[in-house]
Amino acid sequence: MKFETAAGTNPIDRQKIVGKPVDRIDGPRKTTGTATYAYEWHGQVSNMAYGQVVASAIAKGRIVSLDLSHARRAPGVITIVTADNAGPLDKGPRNNATLLGGPEIEHYHQAVALVVAETFEQACAAAELVQIKYERTSGSFDLDTAKGSAVKPEDISGNPPDTAVGDFDAVFAAAPVQLDATYTTPDQSHAMMEPHASMAAWDGDRLTLWTSNQMIDWGVQDLAKTLKMPAEHIRLVSPYIGGGFGGKLFLRADALLAALGAREAGRPVKVALSRPLIANNTTHRSATIQRIRIGATEDGRITAIGHENWSGDLNASSAESGAIYSRPMYAGANRMTQTRVAALDLAEANAMRAPSDAPGSMAVEVAMDEMAEKLGLDPVQFRILNDTQIDPEQPERSFSQRKLIECLSEGAERFGWHERVAQPGSRREGAWLIGMGMAGAFRDSPVTKSAARVRLDGNGVITVETDMTDIGTGSYVIIGQTAAEMMGVPLERVVVKLGDSSFPVSAGSGGQWGANSSTSGVYAACVKLRAAVAQKLGFDADQAVFANGEVSQGDRRVPLAEAATAGNLVEEDVIEFGELDERYRLTSFGSHFAEVAVHAHTGEVRIRRMLAVCAAGRILNPKTARSQIIGAMTMGVGAALMEELAVDKRYGFFVNHDLAGYEVPVHADIPHQEVIFLEEVDPLSSPMKARGVGELGICGVSAAVANAIYNATGVRVRDYPITLDKLLDGMPQAV
């Protein structure tokens, strides 16, 4: 597949601006506090009211009585929205949970009312006066207990739940070296900095919603279906997002209730969810139970690999399947994967950074280390020995590129892997046990349809408009770099406008498709603008060169701005990738290395150094890409050592539902992190020749830490997070 401009070449390949580590163009606004987040659009509307969510105090049952009389009489109260007066509501196609409950209750902290008042304090005080009597019924809150009744889902994000190649059972049973181990990962919270928040205002039958949402068009369509109104009557605005990690992919209660509250109050209303509601009302990553079996010859070649996965969700709606990770990662002629999902009466489980692959790598990459030890092989060499250049389960679908071996080899050399002592518990520094661990990594990087609008004005400024979002990932700057490169202007002559449903529909932020797809949409729009400029200035569109703020051909040069002296030139286009994803598997690969120190007396774990090596096509901006990887590495450390939503299995809620109880890494937990990007371009992936990195960075990290802890202590923990209580009983005798 070729991607060319009218001039017959791809200007992106010049890499005068694209591929450079330039600063984020939105950085100054964010660091000075002038970037406007969802709860801060104070200057856009007047007469603002505040909404406070009243959430269910039970996990399963029904509301017997709902007494609003005391709350209605409280100072400042304007109105109260419940299921009784909200009008007919549908359920958005991407919502497993009902966002406004009553009388039936589906999960703990399901929203059952919104109190709207003149001030935030008045809304909070009045919400405490809402009196609700419940009839509690028994629920299912424990994945281990519900595992036996789990069912096969229809699919896993478009992938089949079960796969089989060859005769796994027979070949595994005959394998001279075998591993059969079970690993568990816990429920996890996105814990993003910015809470779920929305502000809504109606103008007749038209709604404007300022919110924090990763996928603008999804939000519009889901809200339109839920409110049973035309999508073209909704404008959704979300230019700055303080983190999402998948938790803001879908319509949530804050957005719906802000819209309902504003309609009922007859004035704008803003709603933010508290931390407990973010944990128990919005989505989370489901816990998993993963059984992995590997059979190999005595020389270390895998002959059979089986991976069974159980997770849970409200109404058994979607599965978090670690089995997805094992399918393309390592060779083995005889294979089996199975995915089952149990119905749990917890809040909805859904996408969290690298869904399925993050927890899958936490199990598979530890199993590979355990198998290497059984075989007496180095873990890096065992992985290299079992690399595959084709997808073992889809051999007809080639990888666009696969440089896993290069990532493993480069990582081992740069990290000093040869200094690792293979015998666990052998290296000490005083009271500290020192160990090294590593893991491979992969994450698919699909491409999806994405559109943009570009405008040239009489000052030679290029303005880009697309509903793409920036969730802290650097969308603004890479989109700006793309337009600057294409139009031959410096980056400071480009204005980027994002996150508004009045702009063309982009790929959005999620699934590791955002950067490559959205910049490709900008590329397509710029191709049309280049052609329009060439025609306006009398150049041959096939020969015109755009550089240094000019358009040239031969000896003739004309300032770019002259094309717009009679009025702005505006072009819009969309990129579509046809059957590309069906013909090629676009996948980013990597490796992770970690060194830890574990205190021999207490079991305290300290990360000492970390390294990631990534093969992800052309890196559009090394500075922002590195930031994505080190953020993902940090998140992987959290998953390895501390992150766990603790379930009260009697009453069905997450106990540690705030940032005091749900622990995430802080600066003191994280050492220097080194990131290496292999030099490569992927001409099959897009005109940008890039792939995704944002989710690749978390895959394998937790396993690398777990393997390092084992190398330090000789204690193999298969149940994440690896807390000191799981280490102490098996620690080597302290000296």
State the catalytic residues.
695
CA 600 to chain centroid: 36
End-to-end CA distance of the chain: 63
Q: Going along 187-229, which residue ranges are E strands? A: 197-203, 206-211
Nearest Cα neighbor of 672 from 613, 712, 612, 597 is: 612
Instruction: Tell me the pairing of strands 288-296 and 302-313.
Output: antiparallel
CA 537/CA 607 separation, integer angstroms: 60
Do residues 297 and 303 lie in contact, with contact meaning Cβ atoms separated by under 8 Å? yes
Host H or E run for residue 503: none
CA 54/CA 56 separation, integer angstroms: 7
User: 713 by DSSP, 3-state: which?
Assistant: helix
Residue type present at position 253: A
CA 185/CA 204 separation, integer angstroms: 49
Q: Phi first, then psi: give them for residue 289, nearest 5 degrees.
A: -120, 125
Nearest Cα neighbor of 276 from 387, 205, 367, 196 is: 196
Nearest Cα neighbor of 593 from 674, 680, 679 is: 674
Locus of tokens 């068009």: 217
Written as one string, the DSSP assignment of 16-35 is SSTTS-PPPTTHHHHHTT-S
At a CB cut-off of 8 Å and minimum separation 6, what does 160 contact?
Answer: none
CA 506/CA 467 separation, integer angstroms: 6
Tokens representing residue 167 in the block: 């005769």
Q: Residue 113: beta bridge partners?
A: 54, 82
Do residues 251 and 99 lie in contact, with contact meaning Cβ atoms separated by under 8 Å? yes
Examine residue 176 and say whether the peptide bond preceding it is cis (omega within 30 degrees of 0).
no
Do residues 533 and 465 lie in contact, with contact meaning Cβ atoms separated by under 8 Å? no
Q: How far is CA 37 from CA 33, 116, 150, 197, 216, in A?
A: 10, 21, 40, 9, 15
CA 533/CA 530 separation, integer angstroms: 5
User: 37 by DSSP, 3-state: which?
Assistant: coil
Do residues 658 and 275 lie in contact, with contact meaning Cβ atoms separated by under 8 Å? yes
| Strand ranges across the sheet with 177-185 | 163-165, 334-343, 302-313, 288-296, 177-185
Do residues 379 and 372 lie in contact, with contact meaning Cβ atoms separated by under 8 Å? yes
Dihedral sign (CA 244, 245, 251, 253): negative
Locus of tokens 């700006």: 480
CA 29/CA 317 separation, integer angstroms: 40
Measured at the alpha carbon of residue 637, what is the angle toward residues 633 and 642, in degrees to the nearest 5? 150
Helices (H), ranges, 318-388: 323-329, 357-375, 379-385
User: 574 by DSSP, 3-state: which?
Assistant: strand
Q: How far is CA 712 from CA 373, 416, 636, 640, 719, in A?
A: 14, 16, 19, 15, 17
Locus of tokens 């003191």: 668
